[in-house]
Amino acid sequence: MVYLTSTQSRHPLHPWPLTHVGHGSCCMHLLNHLTNTASLCFISPHTTTGANAVMAALLAILMHLLVPALLLMRVVAVVAAGAPPFSCGGGPSLGLPFCNTKLPAAQRAADLVSRMTPAEKASQLGDVANGVPRLGVPSYKWWNEALHGVAISGKGIHMDRGAVRSATSFPQVLLTAASFNDNLWFRIGQATGKEARAFYNIGQAEGLTMWSPNVNIFRDPRWGRGQETPGEDPAVASRYAAAFVRGLQGSSSNTKSVPPVLLTSACCKHATAYDLEDWKGVTRYSFRATVTVQDLADTFNPPFRSCVVDGKASCVMCAYTSVNGVPSCANADLLTKTFRGSWGLDGYVAADCDAVSIMRNSQFYRPTAEDTVATTLKAGLDIDCGPYVQQHAMAAIQKGKLTQQDVDKAVKNLFTTRMRLGHFDGDPKAHVYGNLGAAHICTQEHKNLALEAALDGIVLLKNSAGVLPLKRGSVASAAVIGHNANDVLALLGNYWGPPCAPTTPLQGIQGYVKNVRFLAGCHKAACNVAATPQAAALASTSDSVILFMGLSQEQESEGKDRTTLLLPGNQQSLITAVANAAKRPVILVLLTGGPVDITFAQANPKIGAILWAGYPGQAGGLAIAKVLFGEKNPSGRLPVTWYPEEFTKVPMTDMRMRSAGSYPGRSYRFYKGKTIYKFGYGLSYSKFSHRVVTARNNPAHNTTLLLAAGHAATTEDNLSYHVDHIGDELCRQLKFLAVVKVQNHGPMDGKHTALMFLRWPNATDGRPARQLVGFQSQHIKAGEKAHLRFEVSPCEDFSRVRDDGRKVIDKGSHFLKVGKHELEISFGA
């Protein structure tokens, strides 16, 4: 800012020192100081007379316009030179309270906001936030993605320029979820967070707010974005949410709390009950979901609660969905009462991209743009992905629909998050994450982790007569057939960054077999044209045949749902023809996000083995080969139910989880119908047995503890206990340890994943058929045993949600079950 004023040492509204010079030297003086100190020039009327005064005034106006731009250019130049933008390293902000690192982040943010003009505040309310040069605040880009590695989908990460052009690409989330390993999820989050910070430090990122993870429930198998999620089970999604967020934000371990300075900021999306893109003309922008209080409480909301309460996420993103008549981003009960009040969100609430404008222009929730913006900010929204709120906030204030206090609250939440990221602590290279740079991206450790994740996630669905594993060196020739066999994009799913060391399945097989012949068979996943005769001929002359079939982002992606669960086009006929022509049973590897109905392959004895490999990330080809050739004993388990094609008769718009009449329900917890494969299904090359026992804190002792709670915890019918009345302390005391004895009967060493479920004596009154309590995995040598320990919390694991949304624990018998073995536990008097 340049001021035309009388001689003074400091402008009352401007903290920078002003230098008194004549107008002739002002520009040169200013440019010198832009690269050195924070001094500004001003033109004194005492140095100008007559026409010179007019020139001085014009020059002052010109400089008034130029200085902010020049300051911004300075920041851009710094970024281009490979240094991250920051504030409080000198210049106009030095010495101000918001630069005082000894003060709490919220207090520092409040001080900064108090110094900003209304227009400057409004400019912060979109994902591309303007800088405030007079306060030394650089511009910022909030939208960045890190779903399964640093991605290029947002606006702030730049891999198209600079020294580093790729990032570690981990498997798409659904495959990673199949590992049922929250320590793995944490380490992937941690590696992704380190690479994101490294990109920032080398000037290839303009933001550290990562709008990941996606923890929506994979409710319907046709959903195009189900691949991004941890699956259909709220307990798995909750564990994933907490683990990934801890890693992404920089916790030192999966049990540690958030660090004082965030590595990056995680944002859990999309709250709530969002799982439809575009189905038969119903789009996510206009869909009005009807969701019961019961389903919200026990299915859709728990992962978001875990994000905030357990993972300490610094952001939650609200969805496009209108739930029970109220758009999620205008729902004060959700954004303020729940996120901040009940769960204690310490951070900000973001709207999905253009959600606010869609609320006005597609959902017609409020009559004007100003009304819409006012409604969302008053409800608890802090930032809009898009410019709509920025464009209309000032008008909303001027028309009395919005107060400056409403805007201040949002902007404080935003700057508090940036304070926690260290953006106002001076040069970030001099602080806790300053050592991270180009050498920390695509490290060997991260590449190994990507391989480990793919190996642990791959699910063996069929293995007739021990077709697998193949023996290395004994396969004279192999035919590799399928459109997914040699396509790098088939490894990545969506929301990806360019992978640093991709290996396609074809390349993976070529590392194990010398004589490999390849034929795509289909031009792409749609497979409208198939080279079936050529594929059959190739199969008939090969020792082994491996087909890599499945889906692509053309069938399932953001904005696109499926209408069928069958393999697209001519894929099924191609697979069948190849199997019939082959010398011995063929191997089918499916690269898909969502489930597919492969009944034909299940029942065909000429298809000897089936693997599901999801979208396995940059190391996917090598991982698949290692599993096929027995270097890895498969241990993945399906995180979703695989439904038959007839399920597509169920409208995607029916949000009910529980079955009713002819409606079959959804997910393993409530679905009553035929399945292709059940949730948790997965074979191994070895045979394992289980037995459930209890250890310390015998649950029979809970009767005494519950009596201490008195009758206040007992429900009206005297058949259950209210969890909220039992209280946190007693809930902690009720926890006990359950031990699962596992034996590997061979013939191979391998990791085994044990899933523990709870079963009620009956599934009436909305009770699930079964409910996941927990999961543990351990590598066990052939012939050896292991004890897997599960901490069981009755308040969490034995409880169910009534139709009024309240959690209760039924008195009487409960059954802990692993595999075919179960143990009865009585709860209460």
Query: Which contacts qualify for 182-185: CB closer than 8 Å, 24 or more apart?
Result: 182/239, 182/240, 182/242, 182/243, 182/254, 183/243, 183/254, 184/452, 184/453, 184/456, 185/239, 185/240, 185/243, 185/244, 185/247
- Cβ–Cβ < 8 Å for 585, 579: yes
For residue 103, how many other CB atoms are within 10 A of its CB?
15
Degrees to nearest 5, angle at CA 90 with 85 and 96: 105
22-52 residues labelled b (16+ CB within 10 A) or e (exposed): ebeebeebbeebbeeebbbbbbbeebbeeee
- Cβ–Cβ < 8 Å for 388, 93: no
- Cα first-last separation, the chain: 74
**What angle separates helix 234-249 from helix 182-201, to the nearest 10 degrees?**
30
**Omega before residue 595 within 30° of 0, cis:** no
Token readout for 189 is: 């989050």
CA proximity to 815, closest of 771, 766, 765: 771
Helices (H) and strands (E) in the chain, counts: 24, 30
Cβ neighbours for 337, distance < 8 A, ≥ 6 positions apart: none
Degrees to nearest 5, angle at CA 194 with 113 and 191: 135
Scanning 362-469, the segments in alpha helix (DSSP H) are 369-379, 388-398, 404-420, 444-457
Token readout for 102 is: 């000894």
Q: CA–CA separation, 431 vs 89, rounded Å?
A: 12
- Cβ–Cβ < 8 Å for 162, 156: no
Q: How buried is residue 728: exposed, middle or buried, by Cβ count under 10 Å (0-12/13-18/19+)?
A: exposed
Q: Which residues pair with 10 in a beta bridge?
A: 17
In the annotation, is 352 catalytic?
yes
CA proximity to 72, closest of 148, 161, 139, 19: 139
Q: Which of 233, 275, 352, 561 is catalytic?
A: 352
Q: Are strands 688-694 and 720-722 parallel, antiparallel or unpaired?
A: unpaired
Compute, in degrees rounded to 10, the torsion defined by CA atoms 758, 764, 767, 772: 30
- Cβ–Cβ < 8 Å for 737, 695: yes
Q: CA–CA separation, 202 vs 163, rounded Å?
A: 8
- Cβ–Cβ < 8 Å for 148, 617: yes
Cβ neighbours for 307, distance < 8 A, ≥ 6 positions apart: 215, 241, 242, 245, 266, 268, 313, 316
Q: CA–CA separation, 318 vs 350, rounded Å?
A: 6
Active-site residues, by number, are 352
